[in-house]
Amino acid sequence: MEALISKCKATYEEKWGSSPSVICASPGRVNLIGEHTDYCEGFVFPMAIPLWTVFVGGKSKQKDYRSHLTTLVTLKSEPCSITLVHQQNGSFELLPEQSHMGKFILGVATLFAKKMEIDLPTFSVVVDSSVPLGGGLSSSASFAVGFFTFLEGLTGKKATLDEKALLCQKVEHDFVGTPCGIMDQMICTKAKEGQALFLDCRTLNAVAVPIQDPEVVVLVTNSGVHHELSGSEYPSLRKTCEKVAEQLKKRSLRDVSMQELQTERAKGNISEEDFIRAWHVVTEIARTVDAKRAFESNDMEMFGKLMYSSHNSLQSYGVSCDELDLLVDIARSCPGVYGSRLTGAGFGGCTVTLVHRNDVESLKEAIQMKYSFAKPVFYVCTPVQGAHIVSSE
């Protein structure tokens, strides 16, 4: 984090000729288990990881009703500078209009100003991130929650953690076009250092669960395959889950049992494809509850078995790929590994593996030797705190 902040501070001071007044940081996350359950009001079990999006800035001294964001994140399709024009009616205009990152800026600024009932002051800010884009580690939620936190520091106005998470989710839905669940925003806001978070995505109740055994390491491996959640696959999966719940006259798949699904399939009321997708969600919700119990009792062998079962189910759900499957298979064959699975929405991205500390390096070596699709990138992760103000003047 410190290197990102130093880089952003230097850019800000060079560009604007003054010192920044607000510095904030927002983490990425890895989900240990509970995939594609959050938009079905199920349970998830993520933790925040020491990959950060940082915002360094302050109120603008210019009188042109424009806010300026400079990004140091390298994206070929993105401009390095984004402008937000403050309109007299309290709305904003984004320049350039088609900037993907700009949609988050526009959405957060719009919803923040409305929530706080203020005219947002103009600002200048520099942003950089070590969260890999499209890697299944929640780069988008890290960005949105981080920018929201920056605006809190800039204005002195604060939302509750639940309000912040829900508003940032609304940005994804209404401004970006991704019908995501609430997991990513909640872990980015509520994460606690040294602890994973067991989250009920219906009630938003969160239980912090510490990692008890210091010899257990969470290893994240980036496959080098990138995904885009606002494409057709993710919305289609969510619609299927909502359709099946409606067919069964349930609020969500959270309320459906395995027996009910099997009965409805036997009656011919659910297509085989819809059954397979709903079956994953219903069984994954149950697995996540079992995984929490195993984690709390430090039964890493059982937790690992549930991780493998989760990955197999996600293959049937249609969100894995050859690269992720190979990474899991390599991990499964290595000593000291408790379990491994894809993490995040899938369609590429990363795997998460629980491994004994003494076997981390041999696991990395095995992956480097046997994984032929791309050069893997490894992150040894410990749980960190959620989005926060680093300094404010």
* Digitized pLDDT (tens) for each residue of the chain, 393 residues in all: 999 999 999 999 999 999 999 999 999 999 999 999 999 999 999 999 999 999 999 999 877 889 999 988 765 556 588 899 999 888 999 988 777 889 999 999 999 999 999 999 999 999 999 998 878 899 999 999 999 999 999 999 999 999 999 999 999 999 999 999 999 999 999 999 999 999 999 999 999 999 889 999 999 999 998 766 556 688 899 999 999 999 999 999 999 999 999 999 999 999 999 999 999 999 999 999 999 999 999 999 999 999 999 999 999 999 999 999 999 999 999 999 999 999 998 989 999 999 999 999 999 999 999 999 999 999 999 999 999 999 987
- The CATH topology of domain 2-34+47-203+384-392 is Ribosomal Protein S5; domain 2 (3.30.230)
Locate 174 and state its tokens. Answer: 């209404």
Q: Which residues pair with 83 in a beta bridge?
A: 68, 95
3-state secondary structure at position 392: strand
Q: Nearest-5° angle of CA 254, CA 350, CA 54?
A: 95
The CA distance from 198 to 31, in Å, is 10
Point out the catalytic residue in the list 64, 184, 274, 359.
184
What are the structure tokens assigned to 88, written together?
């007299």
Rounded distance, CA 383 to CA 217, Å? 11
Indicate the DSSP class of residue 255: G
**Does the active-site annotation cover 184?**
yes
User: 235-238 contacts: CB < 8 A, separation 24 or more?
Assistant: 235/179, 237/36, 237/277, 237/317, 237/318, 237/319, 238/39, 238/179
Look at residue 225 in the predicted model and tell me its pLDDT: 86
The tokens for 287 are 């697995």
Q: What is the model's pLDDT at position 72?
A: 87
Read off the DSSP letter of residue 278: H
Q: The whole model's pTM is what?
A: 0.92
Element of type H or E holding 276: helix 272-296
Distance CA(278)–CA(276), nearest Å, equals 6
Residue 207, H or E segment: strand 206-210
Bridge partners for 34 per DSSP: none
